[in-house]
Structures are given as C-alpha cells and as structure tokens.
C-alpha cells in the first residue's frame, strides 16, 4: 500500500476530519493519511476522550478504500494493532495486544485504535503515546514510548516507520481479512486459554478465552462448555 501523508498542526479529530474529506472528495485515494501534531477532540471506543498535546503523541488516520461488510471492520483495527506491536518491538518495547483494539505494555495502554466505516471504505484511526511524560491525567493505566525507553522520539519519523508496518498488515487484511493476520495477532495475546471477564455496559460475561472467530470476534467458553461469539466489550483477567 502506498501512503500520502497530510500533516496538520492542530485538528479536533483526525478520524472526523478524514471522514469529512472523504465525503467531499469521492476520489480521495486509498492510503490517504491525515496526521495531527495536536488533537483536541480525539475519541476512542464508546466515545472515550483521547487528547494529544503538540508533539507529545502520534495521532493519525488512514483511509482504506474497498467494499467491506460491517462484520469485517473490527478486524481492521486488529490488523493495525499488529503493525503497531511490530513497530514497538523495533523500538525495544515488548507489547501485548488486548482485544479488540488496544496495545499494552506491562498492562498499561500505549496505543488505541478505532475503525470507522465510511462510504466506499474504512477509516482507521491510531493514537500512540510517544513523548508523554506522565499518565496522571488519564483515567486508566497508561504509558508511552518515552516512559518505557527514557528517550524522546520524533513523531514525524515514527509515523514513517509505522507506515512501513501498516502497509504490510493492511494489505494482508484487505486481501484475506482477519485470517491473514490471525497468527501474528494471537502471538501477542497473553491470555489465550485463560479465564477472562468481558464487560459490555452493565453486562458481565465470564469464561475461557478460546480464541477468535473468522472476523476477529472473541470466542468465549462458558462454564457449561458452550462457546459464544462476543463482538464488543472490555476484557479483564
């Protein structure tokens, strides 16, 4: 996949901005990347806030053209998570993946990913904590590349590196869906075969993580042995 990067000094949300661009220009090519040095109204799953001060984090979104069913979209963010994990491996950090779209280091969130379906394709938004010095302002355990390695990174250069990994993994996903990235995804999942709890709103489901279905859905084995597919929720061990 070839990418065309558009950097902006400040945007409310790269996903929202790219979605508007794609709506105004139906010819906007696949691989268009919108990146912001400061993001003021970013969001994650369930409309969680994700903000980024200037030069502190890497926030960007990618337009991927194609005809994708709604059930395929969750695994687009999983393919992107694999690419992020590969980037971090190269930076001397050992990440794990958390279904459906988080990248963790020692149980702390370092990256979140959000896939939004749009007419004629999907937009994948990625937020990676890069030069954040403290996670005190975040309502969950979090970390950054700086915290983990003690060294700052240039976000422009880091984006170039990440796109090399994303090019491979998103091409794989576009060609064969989750099955093309399953092996790499599962190699970074620490709780396969273990007991987990999945929370979806006020509903809690406990069982054994059996694996993942053909579209990336979580497969949960209940105490009675019945395996069911879970499409959304927050996982805890």
Verify that 120 and 171 share a domain, yes or no.
Answer: yes
Number of domains comprising the chain = 2
Confidence at residue 70, expressed as pLDDT on a 0 to 100 scale: 87
Confidence at residue 139, expressed as pLDDT on a 0 to 100 scale: 63
Degrees (nearest 5) of the Cα angle 16, 20, 26? 135
Which residue range forms the structural domain that includes residue 218? 195-236
For the record, the structure tokens of 38 come out as: 């400061």
Confidence at residue 237, expressed as pLDDT on a 0 to 100 scale: 75
Verify that 156 and 219 share a domain, yes or no.
Answer: no
Verify that 68 and 112 share a domain, yes or no.
Answer: yes
> pLDDT of the chain along its 237 residues, tens only?
899 999 999 999 999 999 999 999 999 999 999 999 998 865 544 444 445 556 789 999 999 999 988 889 889 999 999 999 999 999 999 999 999 999 999 999 999 999 999 988 999 999 999 999 876 656 678 999 999 999 999 999 999 999 999 999 999 999 999 999 999 999 999 999 999 999 988 899 999 999 999 999 999 999 999 999 999 999 997
Distance separating alpha carbons of residues 126 and 24, to the nearest angstrom: 22
Distance separating alpha carbons of residues 131 and 44, to the nearest angstrom: 19
Verify that 149 and 218 share a domain, yes or no.
Answer: no
Confidence at residue 44, expressed as pLDDT on a 0 to 100 scale: 45
* Per-residue three-class SS string for 49-79: EEEECCCCEEEEEEEEECCCCHHHHHHHHHH
pTM, rounded to two decimals: 0.91
Confidence at residue 46, expressed as pLDDT on a 0 to 100 scale: 43
Verify that 226 and 159 share a domain, yes or no.
Answer: no
């Amino acid at each position: 996949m070839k990418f065309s990067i558009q950097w902006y000094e400040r945007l409310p949300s790269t996903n929202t901005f790219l979605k508007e661009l794609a709506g105004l220009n139906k010819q906007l090519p696949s691989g268009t990347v919108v990146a912001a040095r400061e993001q003021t109204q970013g969001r994650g799953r369930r409309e969680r806030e994700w903000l980024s001060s200037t030069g502190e984090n890497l926030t960007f979104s990618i337009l991927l053209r194609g005809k994708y069913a709604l059930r395929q979209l969750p695994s687009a963010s999983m393919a992107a998570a694999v690419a992020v994990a590969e980037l971090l491996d190269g930076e001397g950090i050992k990440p794990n993946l958390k279904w459906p779209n988080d990248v963790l280091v020692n149980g702390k969130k370092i990256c979140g990913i959000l896939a939004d379906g749009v007419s004629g394709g999907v937009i994948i938004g990625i937020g990676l904590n890069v030069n954040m010095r403290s996670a005190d302002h975040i309502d969950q355990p979090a970390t950054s590349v700086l915290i983990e390695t003690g060294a700052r990174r240039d976000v422009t250069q880091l984006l170039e590196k990440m796109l090399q990994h994303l090019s491979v993994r998103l091409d794989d996903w576009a060609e064969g869906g989750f099955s093309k990235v399953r092996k790499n995804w599962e190699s970074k999942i620490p709780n396969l075969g273990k007991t987990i709890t999945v929370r979806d709103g006020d509903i809690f489901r406990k069982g054994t993580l059996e694996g993942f279905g053909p579209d990336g859905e979580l497969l949960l084995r209940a105490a009675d042995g019945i395996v069911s597919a879970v499409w959304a929720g927050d996982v805890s061990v």
